[in-house]
Structure 1
């Protein structure tokens, strides 16, 4: 007889991995759906979180980026009691399978807690392991990094101006394919004291494609900026769509776009 996990909303049995630091929320339904596609998760609002002898319904409320290139993600999920926890996208995907957890029972039909706890420990190690510091080859790179750290980015949406520098491709580690992106230059945040940013990038979304942008176009728009490096394209991409420079910032969901 097949053994299935009971549907239990039991917070006392759940091992939480609370998020550390800032959580990146989804700026729109479009971004939410795009991220689910990247993480190879079904397009829905609630998911099953399965652990030991119980499972609970959760929602994905945001994510956190890690690694030297900020191109790996930890999903932040919210339980029905409001508590938050982190989980790797691939592990949450695995939990959605109907046969998930069968290996967690021994031949006698009892929970194989050793296997489950080992898997949870592996997941916890992945989420909490610190990223090794990057050793720079020159003092110049170190100075650039220190300068970038000093910039205090606004947390809310703000007004920008920028120039379209390049239409490029960026490798997506989850889909194992390339995404279309736009590299912007002379990016300035317009506030009481204008803040020059330099280079930034954003996804070449349907909204931006409607603008029929060209290299050299001067733009003004609203958006939210985060510190996230542009992942480089693979070697088989033509040179026209490669970005050789380091682009340290990403602008999410630009809106109210105007050509100047």
Structure 2
């Protein structure tokens, strides 16, 4: 049978589609112009499709990918090894036999290689539940705010000018990181850290780090990174605040 290497308890699931694309690019499983929702899994005479379910992360900065088979079973695999499986020449000599539904890995060497490239764990038996409840990043993140649906008035402080990779264009977009972001329109709401695009309009304001500003805009749930979850869209009517 396929040698499933079960996740060691809870694992990290993807926050959203952007997080999925970011990790997939980091592992080099696909390109920004060709994002894949299904990947090939090849082992012995078996070849099938799997989906990325999440990953395990360790202190040394290495990730182990969790894949979900078509039968619902979960298994760990090294991302570099999964990347190799996408090659047309991968295991060509082993795939000359008949392809079965959920078949065995005929090569003990191949099994040992998979096991050595992933974090050791007890194999998952067929009697084991197909899926375990997982703890996603959302479960450990701060509670989601009830964001206003309409454009509102904000106050904030310019924290940093930086850039963010646009995975759809393959280029970096200029952005501004904001701190102490607060909705001053009733009902007031403390956002904390947020980010926005560094548009031509904002560039005309000649902003500097540390500037206290107020402006109109719409806040949405779109993360910059793990710590900065919210984005302000189309900031306008920007005014620098001067302390008395």
TM-score by length of 1: 0.49
**Which runs of no fewer than 5 residues in structure 1 stay unpaired?**
1-11, 129-150, 172-176, 229-248
Q: Distance in 2 between matches of 1:118 and 1:189?
A: 56
SS of 1:13's equivalent? coil
Q: How does 1:189-204 map to 2 (within 5 A)?
A: 197=192, 199=193
Residue 159 (structure 2) aligns with? 165
Residue 250 (structure 1) aligns with? 228
Q: Distance in 1 between matches of 2:120 and 2:110?
A: 16
**For the Cα contact (< 8 Å) 1:64–1:76, is it kept in 2?**
yes
Q: How does 1:1-260 map to 2 (within 5 A)?
A: 12-18=1-7, 20-28=10-18, 32-42=20-30, 43=34, 44-63=36-55, 66-67=58-59, 73-101=63-91, 111-113=106-108, 115-125=109-119, 153-154=142-143, 156=144, 158-159=146-147, 162-168=156-162, 182-187=176-181, 197=192, 199=193, 208=197, 213-214=202-203, 215=207, 216=211, 218=214, 220-223=218-221, 228=226, 249-251=227-229, 254=231, 256-259=233-236
SS of 1:222's equivalent? strand
**Which runs of no fewer than 5 residues in structure 2 stay unpaired?**
96-104, 123-139, 149-153, 166-170, 239-244
Name the larger-Rg structure.
Answer: 2
Residue 131 (structure 1) aligns with? none
| Gap change, CA 1:126 and 1:13, over 3 Å in 2 | closer
The number of residue pairs the alignment matches comes to 184
| Gap change, CA 1:251 and 1:55, over 3 Å in 2 | same
Residue 6 (structure 1) aligns with? none
TM-score by length of 2: 0.52
Q: Residue 53 of structure 1: CA displacement?
A: 3.6
SS of 2:178's equivalent? strand
